[in-house]
Amino acid sequence: MNAENKSETAAIQSPDTRTATVNPSSGKRKKLLAALGLVSALAAIGYGTYYYTVARFHEETDDAYVNGNLVQITPQVTGTVVTVNADDTQIVKAGEPLVTLDPADARIALANAEAALGQTVRQVSALYVNNNVLAATVRQREADLSRAQSDLRRRTEVTETGAVSAEDVAHARDAVKIAAAALDTARQQLTANHALTDRSNVADHPNVQAAAAKVRDAWLANARNTLPAPVTGYVARRSVQVGQRVAPGNPMMAVVPLDGVWVDANFKEVQLRRLRIGQPVELRADVYGGTVTYHGKVVGFAAGTGSAFSALPAQNATGNWIKVVQRLPVRIELDPAELRAHPLQIGLSMLVDVNTKGTGAELGTADASNATYRTRYATDVFQRQGDEADREIARIIAQNGPQA
């Protein structure tokens, strides 16, 4: 068979051969497309189900950071630093002394004030004792007057007999007048002394209270040469040095209480529609990765966006204005037990997921202001100094009072 016959034979056989080879691949392609469409439909149905049951009730953002209080340590009196007991990154407890100023001058002023208080207590105590002395003087002057009146009466009765001269009677009348004047003087002195002592005791006397106030002032000035830690936390921003001369209000360091930090999550304005105060939140910190999950709740919304409170607010009244989606800080409170187990430093990044299915107060309504969580920061370390001053004053009064 020649070449032409072979080509004709191949041409005659090719349609059936092509049909036999093409149809199986076309069927596979249709099956693959059908499977792909089915998978896409199932995925769309699954995502739709997930969105309407779960995803639409969650708002997430990774524009969130840990924030907290920076408790400034500032002196209340002028002095020279002689001791610094803490440095950055170190933990201090509330009440521990952080910085000590030279107390020499304050101690001298305190000693003078304490001596003046003791002297005042003794002087006031003498006033109360004088009440009894002056009362006895009044009784003595009354007896003198009574005796002078008796003498005058006896002399007057015997004047006609000539046993007593007129001059003696005149002297007797003068003695009565003198005794009466002395009695009146004694009574006035007793009244004046009662005016200084009535309706009070030694401890409550105005003179003692004025001296006690000077002792309290001197005591506090001396106590304030030692600066305690107002709260428990980490020391940060230490700038004070030994030998430095400081004045009231100069910042020397800060203490950061890490057990009271919170998270400021910056949500886009389009995400705020379903956010409510009190909704539960799950958070993850980049520092711990996905191994630690924090739980918290929404406790408040900022009064404005970050750009509104910036040093140079944006001026949008221009011809080339371009809209930029704004973000509003939302404060999230963390579980204190979880913070103790896994501390967070200020400034760390967080991933925030708010469950918006929970009910709560809506942003911008009266209910939001009523539902806002109130926080209170307080310390009693400075009150202890006043209590110590009161105890010292009571000791001085008891030591110098009449009962001593």
Taking 90 as the threshold, does the pLDDT of residue 190 lie above it? no
Provide the domain count of the chain.
2
Query: Are residues 271 and 200 part of one domain?
Result: no
Taking 90 as the threshold, does the pLDDT of residue 67 lie above it? yes
Between 370 and 147, residue with greater pLDDT: 147
Coil/strand/helix, residue 238: coil
Backbone CA torsion sign across 286, 287, 289, 294: negative
Taking 50 as the threshold, does the pLDDT of residue 19 lie above it? no
What pLDDT shows up at residue 225? 95
Taking 50 as the threshold, does the pLDDT of residue 1 lie above it? no
Q: How far apart are CA 231 and CA 72, in angstroms?
A: 10
Does any domain span residue 279? yes
Taking 70 as the threshold, does the pLDDT of residue 170 lie above it? yes
Question: What value does the mean pLDDT take over residues 226-252?
Answer: 94
Query: Are residues 215 and 138 part of one domain?
Result: yes
Query: Are residues 391 and 359 part of one domain?
Result: no
Q: Can you give the pTM of this predicted structure?
A: 0.69
**Band of the pLDDT at 222, cuts 50, 70, 90?**
very high
Does any domain span residue 270? yes
Q: Which of 226, 270, 273 is nearest to 252 (CA)?
A: 226
Taking 50 as the threshold, does the pLDDT of residue 276 lie above it? yes
What pLDDT shows up at residue 404? 46
Mean pLDDT of the chain: 85
What pLDDT shows up at residue 320? 78
**Band of the pLDDT at 361, cuts 50, 70, 90?**
low
The residue written with tokens 């002195």 in the block is: 189
Q: Which residues contact 281 (CB under 8 A, 6 or more apart)?
A: 295, 296, 297, 298, 332, 352, 353, 354, 355
What pLDDT shows up at residue 162? 66
Lowest mean pLDDT among 67-71, 275-279, 317-321, 325-329: 317-321
Query: Are residues 204 and 159 part of one domain?
Result: yes
**Band of the pLDDT at 12, cuts 50, 70, 90?**
very low
Question: What value does the mean pLDDT take over residues 331-354?
Answer: 93
Does any domain span residue 28? no
Tokens representing 121 are: 């207590």
Does any domain span residue 283? yes
CA torsion, ordered 377, 378, 381, 383, to nearest 10 deg: 160
Taking 50 as the threshold, does the pLDDT of residue 177 lie above it? yes
What pLDDT shows up at residue 24? 67
Does any domain span residue 329? yes
CATH of the domain at 119: 1.10.287
Q: Which long-range contacts (CB under 8 A, 24 or more apart) does 356-360 make?
A: 356/57, 356/58, 356/59, 356/274, 356/275, 356/276, 356/279, 357/57, 358/276, 358/278, 358/279, 358/280, 359/276, 359/278, 360/276, 360/277, 360/278, 360/279, 360/298
Query: Are residues 390 and 373 part of one domain?
Result: no
What pLDDT shows up at residue 382? 86
Query: Are residues 262 and 218 part of one domain?
Result: no
Lowest mean pLDDT among 99-108, 249-258, 335-344, 350-359: 350-359
Q: How far apart are CA 317 and CA 300, in angstroms?
A: 30
Does any domain span residue 31? no
Query: Are residues 389 and 373 part of one domain?
Result: no
Question: What value does the mean pLDDT take over residues 324-339?
Answer: 92
Q: How far apart are CA 113 and CA 214, in angstroms?
A: 6
Query: Are residues 214 and 161 part of one domain?
Result: yes
Query: Are residues 285 and 361 part of one domain?
Result: yes
What pLDDT shows up at residue 372? 55
Does any domain span residue 337? yes
Does any domain span residue 53? no
Query: Are residues 151 and 116 part of one domain?
Result: yes
Is residue 361 within a helix (H) or strand (E), and if so which, with residue range? strand 361-362
List the domain range (segments joined by +) for residue 294. 258-311+321-377
Query: Are residues 266 and 208 part of one domain?
Result: no
Query: Are residues 187 and 139 part of one domain?
Result: yes
Question: What value does the mean pLDDT take over residues 10-37?
Answer: 65
**Band of the pLDDT at 54, cuts 50, 70, 90?**
low
Question: What value does the mean pLDDT take over residues 158-182?
Answer: 81
CATH of the domain at 298: 2.40.30.170
Tokens representing 114 are: 């304490």
pLDDT digit string, tens, across residues 291-324: 899 999 999 999 888 778 777 777 777 777 788 8
The winner for highest mean pLDDT among 47-56, 328-337, 361-370 is 328-337
Taking 60 as the threshold, does the pLDDT of residue 6 lie above it? no
